[in-house]
Structure 1
């Protein structure tokens, strides 16, 4: 490839990235890039070219899915409030509802604790208040009534199957009460809530676990995403996207976990034939 062709390819990446950045970010899309002009203009260019031109423009996930994954990852990281604000706003711009955003933030309480979820909701409140262009939505609905343990056990089986059951069984000899709380809260209270479908919940969970670097739980939830209708391509795309938000080591570690999960499922599938 000649230098002229290289220049054209780089320009194409930048233009593609800028178009997508403007679609996600709306009127404020270039504010962050402009703020880098006096200190690190190359970082601004790389953000556009790599983050948007190379990654977010990839097929395999919708923009709605990508924004939910980003909101989930930034919430659990807990150290990037300005970026979380931008991407909550961006999620609204690409058709994610306020209810879906709130449910993603509530969901984060399982994986990063209540402080992360509460801080995320504070950011969301500010974004929602500023978006007078969008119609108001009612508060996120509550979880269904009934026995929390029974509801949680059913959800655990549907989502994580054997992998989830193994996690609970491994706790019985040391912390059976923790196993019960896990089922009642994580699956009975949170996963069973309406407002965000199971596939979206598992997609954001994969993003959260990748960002947090918790490999065993990531493996369980890659299984879970595949169990509720996700594809291997969607799993890989979430992991690639996390390179931009949690770094290449986190994404590479996630890819290694996914490789093992895919291989295990293929072996089990062949053994059933």
Structure 2
């Protein structure tokens, strides 16, 4: 292997072992060198995200792809580097209305197994702040905070035969998940940007959540830093699509 010192040091910080101990280093040394030098040197230098934040963003992306094997690897690194189990679970829960239960349940199950191996007691402390009676209104309040008057206009103009989907969006996606404690609203909206860009095929929604992020305080530089951190995991087509959405909504001044 021909690893940079920075790549080697960052790998050891994350995983607690030398890169030489990786199975891929033994079976695919050229691929492994390219991967480690890129992901753990160049990308980290240019994304400039704090370690725990970067790990949470990567975990969210891996759920959306979905990439369960790599998720387990990064989850172990996250726990070894002090990432909160509550924050990890909140990422999984909030992913559900975006990626669907069919994906998220596999990741919740795998996470529970790894938590048990780390002697993390389940269930974790409850984070819900809404009730069945107020979840729709609380969710709608959150939507308004992120997207302004466009939400009320969209609800008013929606065809009558699927207005229930708009109600679901307020009550379930935002009322059940965005209102939870464990993560700040600003970071939750950043995670939604991560889920949608990582899934691919939802370009209009990527633009909508670029706008939501800008409104809540995650500026162009922050969004580009997130895309940069995710390039090794989502590839260039989805990364470039996300950058196009950022350019469309928050062009460089």
Q: TM-score, normalised by structure 1?
A: 0.83
Map of 2:8 onto structure 1:
18
Which residue matches 1:138?
124
1:221 to partner: Cα distance: 1.2
Q: Does 1:251 align with 2:244?
A: no
How far 1:122 moved relative to its partner?
A: 1.3
Higher relative contact order (CA 8 A, sep 6+): 2
Cα shift at 1:139: 3.2
Q: CA deviation at 1:238?
A: 1.0
The CA deviation at 1:143 is: 3.2
After TM superposition, give the deviation of residue 136 of structure 1 in Å. 8.0
Aligned position for 1:218: 206
- 1:99 matched to 2:99: no
The corresponding residue for 2:19 is: 30
Give the alignment's TM-score, normalised by structure 2. Answer: 0.89
Q: Distance in 2 between matches of 1:54 and 1:166?
A: 44
Cα deviation, residue 95, structure 1 = 2.8
Change (3 A) 1:91 1:164: farther
Structure 2, unmatched stretches of 5+, are none
Kindly state the Cα deviation for residue 170 of structure 1 after the two structures are TM-superposed. Answer: 5.6
SS, match of residue 175 in structure 1:
helix
In 1, the alpha carbon distance for the partners of 2:53 and 2:151 equals 24
Partner SS for 1:226: helix
1:109-148: CA deviation from partner (whole Å, max 9, x where unpaired): 011001221111112112212224x788833422323512
Kept in 1: contact 2:143–2:151 (CA 8 A): yes
The DSSP-based 3-state class of the residue aligned with 2:250 is helix
Instruction: Give the stretch that moved more between structures: 164-173 or 56-65.
Output: 164-173
Cα deviation per residue 1:33-83 (whole Å; 9 max; x = unaligned)? 7312444211110111101101124354211221111111111122x2121
The match for 1:41 is 29
From 115, 123, 142, the equivalent of 1:155 is: 142
Structure 1 unaligned runs (5+)?
Answer: 1-9, 267-273
SS at match of 1:242: helix
**Equivalent in the alignment of 2:44:** 56
Q: Answer whether contact 1:148 1:189 (CA < 8 A) is retained.
A: yes
SS at match of 1:36: helix
Aligned counterparts of 2:151 and 2:239: Cα–Cα separation in 1: 23
Matched residue count:
251
Q: 1:254 and 1:247 mapped to 2: Cα distance?
A: 11
CA RMSD after TM alignment: 2.5
In the TM superposition, residue 205 of structure 1 has moved relative to its aligned partner by 1.3
Cα displacement (A) at 1:231: 2.2
Q: Is residue 81 of structure 1 aligned with residue 68 of structure 2?
A: yes
1:196 CA displacement: 1.1
C-alpha contact 1:77 1:212 (8 A) present in aligned 2: yes
Q: Which of residues 218, 227, 233 in structure 2 aligns to 1:230? A: 218
Matched, 1:208 2:195: yes
- 2:180 pairs with 1:175: no
Specify which of 52, 73, 90 is matched with residue 77 of structure 2.
90
